[in-house]
A and B are shown apart, each in its own frame.
Chain A
Amino acid sequence: MSNFFGECREAVRKGDREAAEALARRALAENTDPLDTIESGYVPGLREAGRLWDEGELFLPELVMAAEAMKAAAAILQPALSASGRQQKTHGRVVIGTIEGDIHDIGKTLVATILSANGYETHDLGADVPVQRFVDEAESVGADFICISALLTTTMAGQKRVIDLLKQRSVRDKYRVLVGGAPCNEKWAAQIGADGYAGDAISAVKLAASLVA
Chain B
Amino acid sequence: MGAIRPKLQWLTGETVEAIVAEARRVLLEIGIYVENKTAADLLMDSGCARSADHRRILFTNGLIDKALAGAPSCIRLYSRDGEEAMVLEGDNIHFNPGSAALHVYDAQQNRIRDGLSSDLVPFVTLTDLLPHYAAQSTGIIPADVPEDLGDRYRLFAALQCSKKPVVTGTFRVDGFAVMKQMLLVIRGSEQALRDKPLAIFDCCPSPPLKWSDLTCQSLLDCADAGQPAELVSMPLTGATSPVTLCGALVQHCAESLSGVVIHQLRKPGAPIIYGGSPAFFDMRKGTTPMGAFETMMIDGAYAQIGKYLGLPTHAYMGLSDSKAVDYQAGFESSAGVVLAALSGINNISGPGMMEFESCQCLEKLVLDHEACGYAKRLVEGIIPRSAPLAFDVLTEGLQAGHFMSLPHTLQWFKKEGYFPDRVINREVKEQWELGGSKDALAAARDRVAVLLKPGIPSLLDESRRKALWDILLADARIHGAETLPELPM
Contacts and interface: CB of A to CB of B under 8 A. Distances in A.
Contacts of B281: 106
A82 interface: no
Nearest to A56: B284
Interface string B139-166: 0010100011010000000000000000
B212 to A, nearest CB: 7
A182 interface: yes
A106 B284 contact: no
Nearest to A154: B171
Given A61-B238, A153-B147, A154-B214, A103 B283 contact: no
Nearest to B239: A106
A153 B171 contact: yes
Contacts of B377: none
A211 interface: no
Contacts of B284: 53, 56, 59-60
Q: How large is the interface on B (under 10, 10 to 19, 20 to 34, 35 or more residues)?
A: 20 to 34
Interface string B159-180: 0000000000001100000000
B102 A182 contact: yes
Nearest to A188: B143
B358 interface: yes
A160 B210 CA distance: 25
Contacts of A183: 102
Interface string A72-116: 000000000000000000000000000001010111001000000
A106 B147 CA distance: 24
B236 A153 contact: no
A156 interface: yes
Contacts of A40: none
A56 B286 CA distance: 11
A141 interface: no
Given A154-B214, A182-B102, A60 B172 contact: no
A153 B238 contact: no
B283 A61 contact: yes
A201 interface: yes
Nearest to A157: B147
Contacts of B286: 60, 106-107, 110, 200-201
B98 to A, nearest CB: 15
A116 B478 CA distance: 44
B283 A59 contact: yes
A183 B103 CA distance: 9
Contact of A154 (B114, B172, B239): B172
A185 B359 CA distance: 14
A154 B283 CA distance: 27
B181 interface: no
A190 to B, nearest CB: 13
Nearest to A103: B206
B36 interface: no
Nearest to B207: A103
B51 interface: no
B240 interface: yes
Contacts of B114: 185, 187
From DSSP, what is the main secondary structure of chain B's interface residues?
Answer: loop
From DSSP, what is the main secondary structure of chain A's interface residues?
Answer: loop
Interface string B465-479: 000000000000000
Contacts of A101: 212
A200 B206 CA distance: 22
B249 to A, nearest CB: 20
Contacts of A153: 102, 141, 147, 150, 171
Interface string A143-154: 000000000011
A130 to B, nearest CB: 14
Nearest to B170: A154
Interface in A164-208: 182-183, 185, 187, 200-201
Interface string B12-56: 000000000000000000000000000000000000000000000
Interface in B116-146: 141, 143
A60 B284 CA distance: 6
Interface in B254-312: 281, 283-284, 286
Contacts of B172: 154
B114, B147, B150, B286: most-surrounded residue (chain A CB, <10 A) = B286
B210 A103 contact: yes
A56 B287 CA distance: 13
A200 B148 CA distance: 25
Contacts of B171: 153-154
B237 to A, nearest CB: 11
Interface string B175-212: 00000000000000000000000000000001000101
Nearest to A200: B286
Contacts of A60: 283-284, 286
A106 B234 CA distance: 14
A195 B171 CA distance: 27
A5 B286 CA distance: 30
B292 to A, nearest CB: 15
Contacts of A105: 240
Nearest to A59: B283
Interface string A51-71: 001001001110000000000
B155 to A, nearest CB: 15
A151 B183 CA distance: 29
B115 to A, nearest CB: 11
B147 A156 contact: yes
Contacts of A103: 206, 210, 212
Contacts of A154: 171-172, 214
A182 B236 CA distance: 16
A14 B210 CA distance: 34
A157 B150 CA distance: 14
Given A101-B212, A153-B141, 13 more contacts: A60-B284, A61-B238, A103-B210, A106-B286, A107-B286, A153-B102, A153-B147, A153-B171, A154-B214, A156-B147, A182-B358, A183-B102, A200-B286
The 5 closest A-B pairs by CB, nearest first: A59-B283, A60-B283, A103-B206, A106-B239, A110-B286
20 contacts: A60-B283, A60-B284, A61-B238, A101-B212, A103-B206, A103-B210, A103-B212, A105-B240, A106-B240, A106-B281, A107-B286, A153-B141, A153-B150, A154-B214, A156-B147, A157-B147, A157-B148, A182-B102, A182-B358, A201-B286
